[in-house]
Amino acid sequence: MSEIVSHQPRGLSLHRINAMVLRYWYLLMSSWPRLLELVYWPALQIITWGFLQNYISQASGFFAKAGGTLIGAVILWDILFRGQLGFSISFLEEMWARNLGNLMMSPLKPIEFLLSLMIMSIIRLAIGVIPMTLMALFFFGFNFYAIGLPLIVFFCNLIFTSWSVGVFASGLVLRNGLGAESIVWTLMFAVMPLACIYYPVEVLPVWLQYVAWTLPPTYVFEGMRALLIDHVFRADLMIWSLALNAVLFAASFAIFLALLQSAKRNGSLLSGGE
Amino acid sequence: MPRWLNYGHMQQSKTDQGAPATSQGLAADQGGSAAIDVARLVKVYKTTRAVDGISFRIARGSITGLLGGNGAGKTTTIAMIMGLVLPTSGTVEVLGAKIPDQRYDVLGRMNFESPYVDMPMRLTVRQNLTIFGRLYAVKHLRDRIDQLAADLDLTDFLDRANGKLSAGQKTRVALAKALINEPDLLLLDEPTASLDPDTADWVRQHLETYRKARNATILLASHNMLEVERLCDRVIIMKRGKIEDDDSPERIMARYNRDTLEEVFLDVARGRVREEAP
C-alpha cells in the first residue's frame, strides 16, 4: 500500500462516515435554496395547522381540552416524513451528481454510507423542525418541548421508522435508477392514513386496525394523544413501537443489501439513469 | 482453416486454460503475481452475452489497453474488475484479492476514472478532493491536494465549483481524484474522451510519468488508437464480448500488416481478414 495512505480498519471507519457527512454539509452550505427548502415546508405546515387548531378549539369542547393535539401531531409527522426525506434526498444527491460509482469504488462500505445518511437526516431535520417548534410556541402557544422526556422516546421511534423507509426507498432507487425517484417522495404518504396521525386508531374499521398496529408510528401517535389528552405516558406503546422498529430496520437493511447485489448483477450501479 | 483466421478463438482457448495470453504478458508476469487475473469471465444481461468467457492476466507495472467498438464489453469487463458488476461466471483477482468477496481488502490501493461518473458539481475542487482523500484515508491530505494541484495544473481553480470548470479541467480533476491515494492499480475508462488534442496529450504524459514513478499498473479502455499505441505495452482487442487479439501494439500491427492500430481496429471491427488487408 502507498505510504501516503493510513492503515484502514477492517470494520467500520468513523473517518469515512465523517467524510461523507462533510460531503453533504458542503453541499447544503453551497446552496441557499436547499437550506430554504428545509425550513419552508415545515413553516407552512405549522402555520396552516396551527390556525386550524385555534379555530376548532373555539368550536369544540374536546379540542379545547386536548389543546395542541393537532399541532403536536403535525410536528411529529414532520419528524417522520422529513427524517425520511432527509435520508433519501442525501442519497438522491449522489444519483443526481452521478457520484455513486466513485463512492462504490472507494473503500466506503454500504453500512458507513447508510450511517452517514442517517446523521445527515438528523442535521436536516434539526434545520427544518427546530424553527417549526419555535413558531408553534410563539404563534400558537404550544410548547413542544414541554412534552419532556417522552418526546425523546417519540423522536427515537419516529426517526427509526423514517430511516427504515429511507433505506428501503434508497435501495429501490439504487436498483431501478432515477426512474424510481418518485417512490422517495411518496412512500411515506402510504403510511399516513394507517399510522393514525390525526385521529385515534378506533376510528378505523376493525380489520384495518390490525394493519395499523403493525406500523411503529401508530403507537407513537396514540402515545402522544394519551399524553396530551389524558396526561398518561404509555410506556407499553413505546416498547411495542421500538420492537417493531427493530424488525423493520433489520428488514430494510437486508432488503437494501439485496437490492445492491441485484444492482451489481443488473449493471445499474454505473448507469443510474432511468 | 489458416491459423490467423482463427487467431482470436485460439487466443481465447489458450487463455481459458489460465495461461498468460501472450509472450509479452508471459514475460511481464514472471516477476510475481499479476495485478489483474481474469479467468473465463462471463457476463450475461438477460439474453445478451456482454462478456463471453474472456481470460487474461495483467502484469504489475504495465499499461494495458482494452480496445473494442461500442458494445464490445470493455466497460462491463472493467466494471467486473472493480466489483461494481457481478460476473455470471468466471473469476477475477485484483492485487491478489478475489473480487467481489475480498474487494474491500484492496479498494484502498485502487482507483478509477470513467465517463459514467462525475464529481459533485456544486462542491469546489478542493472540497471534492478533501472528501475523497478522507475516504481513502490519505495522510497529510492538504499537502497531497496541493501537490496534485501543482502536478495537474489545478492550483488556480482549486476553490472553484466543479460545475464551473471546462471539460478539460474536469477531466484533470477526475484524474486528481483517481490519483489521490497513489493507487497501485488505476482503471481508466476513456480517460481522454471529449478532450482537445493538447489536453489529451497532457493527460497521457501525466499517466506515463505516474506509472514510471510508482510502478503502478494501468488498465485503460479507449477508442483512441493513437493513445493506446503511445501509452500501452499491451493491447487486448475485444469484439462482441470475446478477445479478438492480445499482444503488444507493434506485434499486432505487424500481424495485421498495418501501420497503425486504427487500421487494425477497423479490420477487426469490420471483420476483414488479413489476406484482404494491403
Scanning B43-62 for CB atoms below 8 A from A yields 43, 45, 50
Q: Do B139 and A6 touch (CB under 8 A)?
A: yes
Q: Which residues have a Cβ under 8 Å from the Cβ of B75 and sit 6 or more positions away? A: A270, B114, B116, B189, B221
**Is the confidence at residue B22, as pLDDT, over 90?**
no
Q: State the distance between the two ends of chain A, measured CA to CA, in whole angstroms.
A: 38
Q: Does residue B86 belong to the interface with chain A, where contact is any CB pair within 8 Å?
A: yes
Output the 3-class SS for chain B: CCHHHHHHHHHHHHHHCCCCCCHHHHHHHCCCCCCEEEEEEEEEECCEEEEEEEEEEECCCCEEEEECCCCCCHHHHHHHHHCCCCCCEEEEEECCEEECCCHHHHHHHEEEECCCCCCCCCCEHHHHHHHHHHHCCECCHHHHHHHHHHHCCCHHHCCCEHHHCCHHHHHHHHHHHHHCCCCCEEEEECCCCCCCHHHHHHHHHHHHHHHHHHCCEEEEEECCHHHHHHHCCEEEEEECCEEEEEECHHHHHHHCCCCCHHHHHHHHHCCCCCCCCC
Alpha-carbon gap, residue B130 to A163, rounded angstroms: 27
Dihedral over Cα of A66, A68, A73, A79: its sign = negative
Measure B182 CA to nearest chain A CA, in Å. Answer: 6
Closest-CA residue of chain B to A101: B117
**Is the confidence at residue A102, as pLDDT, over 60?**
yes
CB A148 within 8 A of CB A72: no
- Taking contacts as CB-CB distances below 8 angstroms, the residues of chain B near A261 are 86
pTM (2 decimals)? 0.87
Give tens-digit pLDDT for A110-159.
999 999 999 999 999 999 999 999 999 999 888 889 888 899 999 999 99
Give tens-digit pLDDT for B209-241.
999 999 999 999 988 888 898 899 999 999 999
Confidence tier at B29 by pLDDT (50, 70, 90) = very low
Q: Do A4 and B139 touch (CB under 8 A)?
A: yes
> Three-class SS of residue A104?
helix
Average pLDDT, chain A: 90
Give tens-digit pLDDT for A4-46.
887 766 788 999 999 999 999 999 998 888 889 899 999 998 9
Instruction: Take residue B3 and report the three cell numbers written for it.
Output: 491459423
Scanning A134-153 for CB atoms below 8 A from B yields none
Measure B273 CA to nearest chain A CA, in Å. Answer: 34
Q: Do B131 and A22 touch (CB under 8 A)?
A: yes
Scanning B142-181 for CB atoms below 8 A from A yields 144, 161, 177, 181
Give tens-digit pLDDT for B117-132.
899 999 999 999 999 9
**Is the confidence at residue B149, as pLDDT, over 70?**
yes
Question: Could you report the predicted ipTM of this complex, rounded to two decimals?
Answer: 0.87
CB B117 within 8 A of CB A101: yes
**Is the confidence at residue A179, as pLDDT, over 90?**
no
Q: Does residue A214 belong to the interface with chain B, where contact is any CB pair within 8 Å?
A: no
**Is the confidence at residue A167, as pLDDT, over 90?**
yes
Confidence tier at A274 by pLDDT (50, 70, 90) = very low
- Taking contacts as CB-CB distances below 8 angstroms, the residues of chain A near B136 are 5, 106-107
Q: Do B136 and A10 touch (CB under 8 A)?
A: no
Q: Does residue A34 belong to the interface with chain B, where contact is any CB pair within 8 Å?
A: no
Scanning B230-269 for CB atoms below 8 A from A yields none
Closest Cα partner for A266 from A177, A178, A182?
Answer: A177
